[in-house]
Amino acid sequence: MPETGTLRLVAGSAALGLALSAGSLAAAGPWDNGQRKAEREWAAVREATGGAHHGDGRAEAGPRAPAAAPSAPGVLVAAGTTASAPDARALAAALDPLVKSPALGTAHSAAVVDAATGRLLYGSDEDEQLAPASVTKIATAVAALTALGPEHRISTPVVRDGSDRLFLVGAGDASLDDARLKRLASDTARVLGRGARVALAYDTSRFTGPVRHPLGVNPNIAPVTALTVDEGRLDGSDHGPAERSADPAKAAGERFAELLRDEGVRVDGVKPGKAPGGADPVAATASPTVAELVERMLTHSDNDLAESLARQTALATDEKPDFDGSARAVQAQLDRLDLPGSSRIADGSGLDRSGRLSASRLAALLARAAGPDHAALRPALTGLPVAGFTGTLQKRYGKGSAGTGLVRAKTGTLTGVNTLAGTVLDTEGRLLSFAFLTSGTTDPQAAQHALDTLATKVAACGCR
């Protein structure tokens, strides 16, 4: 028999995921850590009791997943469009004592918004700008989805100039891994022919400016360059802190040369170089969709993907593809949404402590992503970690917590800064968005527990 926590994930978080995609775009991609698997299982439960047939529940091959059946009222109720919203005074009575916890430091900004109407239900210094840390990635996600579209893919090409010069052209795809690079080498060798002889150059000109984040050398992020493989990781990991290559582009070029040689191509040296205009295409590899990249970035708090997506946003909006230009590009996309509150984006990942966001703007942004008129933003919600199950919330909620499986949120942590922002289904099935930002914290574990307690209270408080 399934454990209670598993049932809560399927019936809560999964219902949320399908309800959000009702009649609109559902993000494509792998069902990360069981998060989307649970949503498929919930769809299967709904199909057993009625509604249109949507197949056997396996991952879709195409870029679009099926929308929820219009005749599945239970799922739509879970989205929060028919249950009444919590009473603002009752919610304040429940949250005010928790917001005042000493564990939350010397300053805070808190907001809870009704996703169905966009109405602010609770606020405590909600317009105060504080350092957001990694919840900045929610803004980066929305900006990339808006500027690029959820189905956009980043293509990394190999070209040649008509002689024996071959160029591996970095396109800023932080998801490029060794397996894809190997397939690219195989495709390239097939075109060149076994025994071909080339000189290889790697082109990083798509990005400009410093490659080092202002944070400096840090295991949480590699040098930001247009060409990297496995995020420059040297330990075989695929997320989290790791030792990184000091020159990911050079390492990628050398690895590609090695793979070409394995395919029978003779490579005479590897060096940096810009591909000439009009060079002949040889082969290319495409990234997962932006929707999938956004989801992975949020689930695993992937700083490399965040900075890559911010620069892709800059390129799509005619900003400079450097740290400053990408920050301006993300900020511009937020400004276009005409949200309450304020923000000052400093980077794509939130590692830069000079960035600022107010809880009112962040909670409103999440509510906007749930709206029927912004279906393309849905991956900014479906990528959020599920409390007690996935990503950075996997170990932060116990089996007995009322928030387990119902809270989906992005975490943020810097020294003295702890944040949490996401969505929750309350006891009546109403979808609410929330943002809790704190600064001046001295005990990160206590601060995280206090933030989780706030989110759990929003989930458990009927407040009607």
Any residues with CB less than 8 A from the CB of 30 and at least 6 apart, and which?
36, 59, 288, 292
Amino acid letter, residue 413: T
Name the one residue in this structure whose structure tokens are 């090695």: 258
DSSP states of 254-310 as a string?
HHHHHHHHHTT-EEEEEEE-PPPTTPEEEEEEEPPPHHHHHHHHHHHT-HHHHHHHH
Catalytic residue among 301, 343, 358, 360: 301
Residue 433 among the catalytic residues: no
Catalytic residue among 13, 21, 109, 137: 137
State the Cα–Cα distance between residues 141 and 391, nearest whole angstrom. 16
Count Cβ neighbours within 10 Å for each residue of 305-315 and write b for 16 or more, e otherwise.
Answer: bbbbbbbbbbb
Q: How big is the chain by its Cα radius of gyration, in Å?
A: 23
Widest Cα–Cα separation across the chain: 76
Q: How far is CA 451 from the centre of its chain?
A: 20
Catalytic residue among 13, 21, 134, 245: 134
Count Cβ neighbours within 10 Å for each residue of 277-296 and write b for 16 or more, e otherwise.
Answer: eebeebbebebbbbbbbbbb
Q: How far is CA 210 from the centre of its chain?
A: 24
Any residues with CB less than 8 A from the CB of 63 and at least 6 apart, and which?
28, 151, 289, 291
Q: Angle, nearest 10°, between helix axes 290-300 and 136-148?
A: 180
DSSP states of 386-432 as a string?
BTTTSGGGTTTS-TT-TTTTTEEEEEEEETTEEEEEEEEE-TT--EE
Count Cβ neighbours within 10 Å for each residue of 160-190 and write b for 16 or more, e otherwise.
Answer: bbeeebbbbbbbbbbbbbeebbbebbebbbe
Residue 205 among the catalytic residues: no
Nearest to 387 by CA among 361, 407, 369, 415: 407
Residue 137 among the catalytic residues: yes
Instruction: Give the active site residues.
Output: 134, 137, 301
